[in-house]
């Protein structure tokens, strides 16, 4: 089984973290997946952590997790921190697949989204 994990920065403001959770629910609905197949994790300041979320996925029988960094630019969180977190978990689950997707800001769809907002 395959799962989508949306990784955001995390905020001290719980409403901001809840926005990501609501987004995950909408994505699951759009993809016609059960809600539990699209999860969220946070790099810092909120729970669950990336490590906890990935471990939970694999413990529940998921074979592959696609990690989507919910960041606009390829700063150190995208280039270093998220891959480091993934690598640490991958070493514990060598028989599982963790696929790191391009960060949101790199998506071609961002051009249309921004142009539409203009």
- Rounded Cα gap, residues 105 and 12, in angstroms: 23
Q: What is the DSSP letter of 59?
A: H
Enter the pTM of the model.
0.95
Q: What is the pLDDT along the chain (118 residues), one digit of tens a residue?
A: 999 999 999 999 999 999 999 999 999 999 999 999 999 999 999 999 999 999 999 999 999 999 999 999 999 999 999 999 999 999 999 999 999 999 999 999 999 999 999 9
Question: Which residues are the active-site residues?
Answer: 9
Question: Which CATH number is 55's domain given?
Answer: 3.40.50.1400
- Rounded Cα gap, residues 38 and 111, in angstroms: 24
Terminal-residue alpha carbon distance, the chain: 39
- Cα dihedral 93, 102, 117, 28, rounded to 10, equals -30
- Rounded Cα gap, residues 74 and 58, in angstroms: 27
For residue 61, the SS3 value is coil
Q: Which two tokens stand for residue 31?
A: 């993809």
Q: Looking at the 3D structure of the chain, how many domains does it have? A: 1
Question: Range of 55's domain?
Answer: 2-117
Provide the angle, in degrees to the nearest 10, between the axes of the packed helices 50-59 and 82-92.
30
């Amino acid at each position: 089984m395959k799962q989508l994990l949306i990784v955001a920065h995390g905020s001290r403001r719980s409403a901001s973290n809840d926005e990501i959770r609501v987004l995950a629910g909408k994505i699951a609905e759009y993809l016609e997946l059960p809600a539990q197949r699209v999860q969220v994790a946070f790099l810092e300041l909120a729970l669950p952590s990336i490590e906890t979320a990935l471990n939970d996925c694999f413990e529940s029988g998921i074979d592959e997790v696609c990690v989507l960094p919910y960041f606009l630019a390829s700063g150190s969180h995208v280039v270093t921190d998220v891959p480091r977190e993934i690598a640490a978990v991958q070493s514990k689950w060598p028989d599982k697949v963790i696929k790191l997707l391009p960060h949101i800001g790199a998506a071609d769809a961002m051009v249309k989204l921004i142009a539409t907002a203009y």
